[in-house]
Amino acid sequence: MIFGAHESIAGGVFKAIERGRTATCDTIQMFNKSNSQWRAKKLVDDEIEKYFKMQDELGVSVACSHSSYLINIASPVAELNEKSYNALKEEMERCELLKIPGLVFHPGSHVGSGEEAGLNAIVKNINKIFENLKDNNVLLLLETTAGQGTNLGYTFEQLGYIIDNVEDKDHVGVCIDTCHIFAAGYPIIEPKDYKKTMKQFDDIIGLGKLKIIHMNDSKKEFGSKKDRHEHIGQGEIGLEAFRNFVNDSRLKKVPMILETPKDETLEDDIKNLKVLRSLVKKK
């Protein structure tokens, strides 16, 4: 299994690699720019060079980037929709520059326009991105959501609809977030429930489309529709669900990334990764 965590790029993108090594990660997820601003600082050659050098020296890869939280390509507001499209397109270009294989993003929120309108807006924008970035090799990864408010992507059917209607299906995939699917009402604790949920995913989307798993426990109860992450084994999900994931041989090559609470010491990442690794059955 491949384990890692989301690491900060404060001080430069190469810093995320250093933090990943400190946190005992095999691989990491990172932002490719400030996640709370539309504006992106230009990536300079020195920083890029250092970033690749760090990966080679420290043996930590970058599995994916996570897009800015401001982006909403489902928005019915023309100005925000266009701004979101441009921002997501730019992040795809930055990921290509940094040779990051996938960009995880939240599908978006329909903000009252209705689920069908929101899903169609997402499809339209993804098709436009791929049309304008023909030489880009980055996979656009739809993240499962908890179903808060008017957020889309909280059912496998919604994600399946988006993928079915995207023209370039080879460049789109999915990121399952354990906290989000639990909050959205997908049972994963009992082995039989886990198998049923994963079969649903396979039937509707296809396990081949699963490229990243966010490993997060949940502060809130099953089906709460609330997105609140907790340390592994300390929330409402508990250890057994994570045991199911880490011992599923079909997921051997799917990076499992923590997005659990932490401070700058990275001690929490180290502890949570230790817990995940301890759940893997010895052969």
> What's the CATH number where 223 sits?
3.20.20.150
Helices 115-132, 78-97: inter-axial angle, 10-degree rounding: 40
Listed in sequence order, the residues at least 6 apart from 80 whose beta carbon sits closer than 8 Å to its beta carbon are 72
**Cα end-to-end distance, the chain, whole Å:** 13
- Sign (positive/negative) of CA torsion 177, 182, 186, 192? positive
Domain contains 270 = yes
Q: Which residues span the domain enclosing 31?
A: 3-278
**Average pLDDT value for residue range 23-39:** 95
Q: What is the total count of domains within the chain?
A: 1
Average pLDDT over all residues of the chain:
97
Contact predicate 146/225, CB 8 Å:
yes
| Separation of alpha carbons 115 and 111, rounded Å | 9
**pLDDT at residue 282 in the model:** 83
Residues with Cβ within 8 Å of residue 33, at least 6 apart in sequence? 40, 41, 68, 91, 94
Residue 283 lies in a domain: no
70 neighbors 38 (Cβ within 8 angstroms): yes
Residue identified by tokens 């900060």 is: 8
Q: Write down the pLDDT at residue 38.
A: 92
Q: Confirm whether 191 is domain-assigned.
A: yes
Cα torsion 208, 212, 215, 220 to 10°: value is -80
Dist. CA 39–CA 88, nearest whole Å: 12
Q: pLDDT per residue over 66-124, tens digit each?
A: 999 999 999 999 999 999 999 999 999 999 999 999 999 999 999 999 999 999 999 99
Whole-angstrom distance, CA of residue 213 vs CA of residue 3: 10
CB contact at 8 A, 190 and 237:
no
Distance (Å, rounded) from C-alpha 13 to C-alpha 31?
8
Query: pLDDT tens for residues 218-253?
Result: 999 999 999 999 999 999 999 999 999 999 999 999
- Across residues 183-210, what is the average pLDDT? 99
| Residue (of 154, 98, 164) closest to 126 by Cα position | 164
- Residue 198 belongs to a domain: yes
Exposure on the CB side of residue 245, measured as CA atoms within 13 A: 31
H or E, element range at 278:
helix 267-278
- Widest CA span in the chain: 55
249 occurs within a structural domain: yes
pTM over 0.85: yes
pLDDT at 226: 97
Give the pairing type, strands 151-152 and 210-215.
Answer: unpaired
